[in-house]
Amino acid sequence: MAFTAGVITFPGSNCDRDMAVAIRDISGREPLRLWHGDADLPGNIDFIAVPGGFSYGDYLRSGAMAANSPIMRSVIAAADRGVPVLGVCNGFQVLTEARLLPGALMRNAGIHFVCRTVPLVVENGSSLFTSRYETGSTIQIPVAHHDGNYYADDETLDELEGEGRVAFRYGENVNGSARQIAGVLNAKGNVLGMMPHPERAIEDAQGSADGRALFEGVFESLSVA
């Protein structure tokens, strides 16, 4: 697969290595490791992963500082050009704070940090990221977060649902998210943010390999393009 993937590391990221391993394992190519302070992305970048963790110690709001770091200006520009961007967990928080995705991630409704594998319903099986899943199917993916309670106003939620931009919904109430939304797409469909960690579900030894298909779907579209 001749494409160039990159994984961003912010101070406090802790799922960047897992993400890099998943990309390497599934694509057979080593992704570039990108540092938050880099102002520019490589011009040939084909796929950007914004990983989980606690960027900048979650100061101010989860993802708020990272969203304003130098590399995010280039990520926003790349997303505007149509480069696929996947934000997982803290990465999802960063993408909402950067306004690449609508809504916000708030403290879990039950206050507690939630760390377990949860059922996810694939709401849209035809997006760039979900083409390898059947719409309506249920997959098992782990979550590990404190601020995963998705919020957007009703008008925005209606718009997301009407346009098929809810990629995943929790199969049970995990964190109080509005309409149990677990992952959303931008209007163009090339940016996905999700709280669950597909990169932690790529082989059976991890308890589920259901996350593999997400990466396979994106990488397939890139190698065909």
Partner 1 sequence: MKVLVHVSLKPGVLDPQGRAIHHSLEGLGFGGVSDVRVGREIALEVADDTSDEALEDMCRRLLANTVIENYRIEKL
Q: Strand, coil or helix: what is 191?
A: strand
207 in contact with partner 1 (CB under 8 A): no
Supply the DSSP symbol for 30. P
Say how far apart CA 167 and CA 124 lie, in whole Å: 5
Minimum CB–partner distance for residue 25 and partner 1 (Å): 35
Q: What amino acid positions are annotated as catalytic residues?
A: 89, 197, 199
Q: Mask: binding to partner 1, 149-188, rule CB under 8 A, as x and -?
A: x-xx-----------------------x------------
- Strand blocks (E) in 107-225: 114-122, 138-145, 149-151, 166-170, 181-185, 191-194
Using the minimum distance from each CB to partner 1, give the nearer residue, 109 or 115: 109
Q: Does 70 bind partner 1 (CB under 8 A)?
A: no
Q: 179 — phi, psi (to 5°)?
A: 50, 25
**124 makes contact with partner 1 (CB under 8 A):** no
Amino acid making up residue 207: G
User: Considering the rule CB under 8 A, would residue 1 count as an interface residue with partner 1?
Assistant: no
The residue ranges that bind partner 1 (CB under 8 A) are 60-61, 64, 68, 96-97, 102-104, 106-111, 149, 151-152, 176
